[in-house]
């Protein structure tokens, strides 16, 4: 007969952090800008906005308050925007402090109605590495959010983090128009735990979404919790994914879900479990695929706890059950590629084997005989 002894171990986990950007919506200075332009309350400057460095031609633009529809239908945040004409606005916002951190830059890029072409570009620069933000080009009079993401590596520690807003050569009134610049950093997207003595009882994983996916929007996204299970010999035995809404609780049984349909016919008695969180938007019908994760899809908000059995001294055999929080790992691009490529192979060639069962709603506890 097994005697189960429960003990709790708590450890701290970093949440998503908003990186401070000076004058992110170009509202400083308050009031009218030095130069008038056609339209009620329209004004502009040809100097660097406070907090930003300007190379080439650019400045700030206030199309009017309320916004003069000659230029834009509306402004995303406030009444002013930054602009460049074959120039660049840049700002150094700090340095990289650790590997495995995801930096995500989001900038709203605009297209003036009186312009011919959309020519704005936003970039995140880590040291000498430049990542160009991507998004859907806005139509005339509108803004669209562009995003750049980067996964830091050990060589990046100490490197500068710079935001660059620029425009190529245009025609007429063509300019790059920028607003609502925000940068986040997080390192909780990748977490690790283990489970042992599985021949003698089950281990449980409980997972939630803390709701920190995007603090700039005031509403959190769902996340996909992608689960990768390895045996003690480093071989992947299963992978799957669970959609987790903010503040929900979902659970997995190691015996019943993770090792009940392994890729190989052998059932491991101890495993390593790796969790990777990705952004799933806000649709309850979002599709999660652990074989197609990219650095740009990684997300904050994952919190997970796991139990495992430990052999206790004495005869007959007895086991103690402990529960502890998953630990943050330092996710590298190589490890991310390793996880996704192996899971992609399972999905394509496993004939259904190696796909673990999905999460169930609610929490599980204890160990089953």
Mean pLDDT to the nearest integer, 312-340: 90
Query: What is the pLDDT averaged over residues 336-365?
Result: 86
Per-residue pLDDT at 10 exceeds 70: no
Confidence of residue 5 (pLDDT cuts 50, 70, 90): very low
For 17-186, CATH number?
Answer: 2.60.120.260
Alpha-carbon distances, residue 69 vs 63, 176, 276 (angstroms): 8, 18, 44
Residue 292 or 315, more confident: 292
How far is Cα 275 from Cα 304, in angstroms, rounded to an integer? 9
Higher pLDDT, 18 or 65: 18
pLDDT for the residue 168: 82
Residue with tokens 């990046």: 156
**pLDDT at residue 252 greater than cutoff 80:** yes
pLDDT at 12: 35
Determine what percent of the chain is predicted with pLDDT higher than 70.
91
Confidence of residue 220 (pLDDT cuts 50, 70, 90): confident
Judge contact between 126 and 103, C-beta under 8 A: yes
> Is pLDDT above 60 for 1?
no
Residue 8: pLDDT over 60: no
Residue 151 token pair: 């996964």
Distance between CA atoms of residues 119 and 111, nearest Å: 8
Question: How much is the pLDDT for 283?
Answer: 84
The model's confidence at residue 351, banded by pLDDT at 50, 70 and 90, is confident
- What's the pLDDT at 218? 58
Q: How many CB atoms lie within 10 A of CB 335?
A: 16
What single-letter DSSP state applies at residue 355? B
Q: What is the pLDDT of residue 66?
A: 57
Which distant-in-sequence residues (6+ apart) come within 8 Å of 158 by Cβ? 95, 96
Most confident option among 100-104, 302-306, 348-352: 302-306
> pLDDT, tens digit, for every residue of 272-309?
999 999 999 888 888 899 999 988 889 899 999 999 99
- Determine the Cα–Cα distance for residues 285 and 307; give it in Å rounded to an integer: 30
Q: pLDDT for 182-193, tens place per residue? A: 999 988 999 999
Closest CA to 123 of 82, 157, 164, 158: 164
CA gyration radius for the chain?
A: 25
Identify the band that residue 311 occupies on the pLDDT scale cut at 50, 70 and 90. confident
Domain extent listing, the chain: 6-13+188-361, 17-186
Round the average pLDDT of the chain to a whole number and report it.
Answer: 88
pLDDT tens for each residue of 142-178: 999 999 999 999 999 999 999 999 998 767 778 999 9
Rounded distance between C-alpha atoms, residue 329 and residue 100, angstroms: 8
Residues 105-145 pLDDT 10s? 999 999 999 899 999 999 999 999 999 999 999 999 999 99
Task: For residue range 48-74, list pLDDT tens digits in order.
Answer: 999 999 999 999 999 986 556 789 999
């Amino acid at each position: 007969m097994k005697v189960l002894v429960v003990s709790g171990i708590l450890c701290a986990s970093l949440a998503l952090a908003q990186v401070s950007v000076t004058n992110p919506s170009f509202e400083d200075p308050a009031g009218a800008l030095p130069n008038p332009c056609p339209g009620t309350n329209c004004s502009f400057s040809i100097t660097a906005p406070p907090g930003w460095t300007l190379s080439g031609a650019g400045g700030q633009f206030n199309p009017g308050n309320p916004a003069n529809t000659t230029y834009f239908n509306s402004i995303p945040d406030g009444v002013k925007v930054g602009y460049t004409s074959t120039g660049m606005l840049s700002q150094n916002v700090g340095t990289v402090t650790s590997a495995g951190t995801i930096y995500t830059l989001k900038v709203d890029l605009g297209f003036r109605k009186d312009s011919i072409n959309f020519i704005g570009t936003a970039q995140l620069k880590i040291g000498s590495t430049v990542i160009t933000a991507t998004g859907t080009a806005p139509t005339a009079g509108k803004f669209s959010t562009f995003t750049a993401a980067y996964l830091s590596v050990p060589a990046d520690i100490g490197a500068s983090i710079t935001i660059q807003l620029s425009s190529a050569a245009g025609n007429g009134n063509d300019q790059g128009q920028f607003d609502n610049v925000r940068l986040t950093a997080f390192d909780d997207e990748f977490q690790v735990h283990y489970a042992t003595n599985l021949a003698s009882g089950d281990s449980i994983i409980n997972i939630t979404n803390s709701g920190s996916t995007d603090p700039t929007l005031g509403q959190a996204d769902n996340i996909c919790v992608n689960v990768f299970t390895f045996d003690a010999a480093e071989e992947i035995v299963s992978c799957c994914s669970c959609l987790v809404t903010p503040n929900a609780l979902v659970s997995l049984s190691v015996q019943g879900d993770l090792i009940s349909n392994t890729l190989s016919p052998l059932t491991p008695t101890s495993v390593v479990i790796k969790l990777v969180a990705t952004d799933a938007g806000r649709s309850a019908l979002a599709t999660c695929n652990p074989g197609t994760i990219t650095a740009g899809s990684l997300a904050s908000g994952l919190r997970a706890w796991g139990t495992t059995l430990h052999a206790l001294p004495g005869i007959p055999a007895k086991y103690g059950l402990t529960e502890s929080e998953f630990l943050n790992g330092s996710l590298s691009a190589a490890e991310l590629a390793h996880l996704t490529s192996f899971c992609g192979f399972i999905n394509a060639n496993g004939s259904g084997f190696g796909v673990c069962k999905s999460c169930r709603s609610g929490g599980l506890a204890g160990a089953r005989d």
